[in-house]
Structure formats: C-alpha cells, structure tokens
Amino acid sequence: MKIRCIYTITHIVTKEQYVGSTTDYERRKKRHFTQLLRGNHPNWKMQLDYNHNPECLIMEVLYKCDELTSSQIYDLEQGYINLKKYKYNLAKFTSNINSEGRLVNKLRRNKRKIYLILSSILSY
C-alpha cells in the first residue's frame, strides 16, 4: 500500500534535516538512497554528508496524508519549509508550489550544467 506523506531525512549526528512529500513513501525512500549510493543525488549537501558516513542519514514519515490531495500535500510541505530552516532543503519552494518554485527546482537540478555554461561564457 502506498503511503502518502510528508517525510524527513535526518542526519543522526548533526540533526540537520530535509523535508519532502511523496505519494509513495517506499518508492521515494528507495530513490533517495539509491541516488546517494550511486553518488548522483541532486542534493549536493546531503550527498557530501552521505559520502562521509553512509550510515548518517535516516528517513522517517513526519505526517501521513492519506486523505489529502496532491496539491494539499505540497501546501503542507511548503508550510513545514516555511516554519523551519532545513539545511538540506536547497530551494525555498516545493517543486510544485508555484512557477517560482518550479523554476528554482529546475535551476537546482541543472546547477552543474548552468555552472559550466556560465564558466565558459565568463572566461572569454
């Protein structure tokens, strides 16, 4: 059964956190940790901590959202992001909250590509 929820990924030593939302908790958990294991997680801060100590991160359900729509889940996630500064949340907006948030998320995913393009332009 798919678990719709708000979840956290917590560094067990520093207590730094990431908050996210999903409509399938187990699938999302597997994706996070597969990307970390492969060294290609889009969140570079989380990846660096994982590279230093693979046992340092745990993922837990913060709030089950079985009765909420996807839009309401994103709104709730945004509320958590607004309430607390999460070290691992690189964007100020959830990826589906609004056009600004989608742009920030897209830029974050393409950060390396953008950096390489800007570096080549500025070196001339």
- Indicate the residue type of 81: I
5-92 in CATH: which number? 3.40.1440.10
CA distance 95 to 57: 22
Q: Which residue(s) pair with 64 in the sheet?
A: 5
Question: Tell me: the pLDDT tens digits for 43-55?
Answer: 999 999 999 999 9
**Could you tell me the residue ranges of all domains in the chain?**
5-92
Low-confidence ranges of the chain (pLDDT < 70): 95-124
Rg (CA), the chain: 16
Considering the entire predicted model, what is its pTM? Answer: 0.73
**Strand order across the beta sheet in which 57-64 lies:** 17-22, 5-11, 57-64
